[in-house]
Amino acid sequence: MKVIRLSKLDKKVYKRALDAMSRELVDLARWVADSGARIVVVFEGRDSAGKGGAIAAIRHHLNPRQVRTVALGKPTEREAGQWYFQRYIEHLPTKGEIVLFDRSWYNRAGVEQVMGFADKGEVEAFLHATPTFEKLLTDDGIILIKYWLTTDQAKQEERFAERRDDPLKGWKLSPIDVASREQYDAYTEAREAMLRATHRPNAPWTLVDFNDQKQGRLTLIRNLIDRVPESRVPRPVIDLPALDRKPSVETYAVIDPLPDWTPPDED
Name the pLDDT band for 2 (thresholds 50, 70, 90). Answer: very low
Which residues have a Cβ under 8 Å from the Cβ of 225 and sit 6 or more positions away?
A: 21, 24, 25, 28, 231
Alpha-carbon gap, residue 236 to 67, rounded angstroms: 19
Indicate if the pLDDT at residue 234 is higher than 90. no
Backbone angles phi, psi at 168, to 5 degrees: -80, -15
Q: Regarding beta strands 205-209 and 143-150, do their DSSP bridges make them parallel or antiparallel, or are they unpaired?
A: parallel
Does residue 75 register a pLDDT over 60?
yes
Identify whether the C-beta of residue 216 lies closer than 8 Å to the C-beta of residue 210.
yes
Euclidean distance between CA atoms 180 and 175, whole angstroms: 9
pLDDT at residue 30, as a whole number: 95
**Mean pLDDT score of the chain:** 93
Beta strands in 94-142 (DSSP E): 97-102
Q: Pairing mode, if any, of strands 67-70 and 38-45?
A: unpaired
Cβ–Cβ < 8 Å for 21, 219:
no
Please tell me the pTM assigned to this model: 0.90
Give every CB contact of residue 20 below 8 A, 6+ residues apart in sequence: none
Residues 97, 129: contact at Cβ < 8 Å?
A: no
128-160 pLDDT, tens per residue?
A: 999 999 999 999 999 999 999 999 999 999 998
Instruction: Check whether 119 has a pLDDT greater than 60.
Output: yes
Compute CA distances 226 → 28, 219, 231, whole Å.
10, 11, 9
Checking if the pLDDT of 1 tops 50, the result is no
Strands (E), 49-163: 67-70, 97-102, 143-150
Q: Kindly report, residue by residue over 206-232, the tens digit of the pLDDT.
A: 999 999 999 999 999 999 999 987 767
Strand partners, 213: none
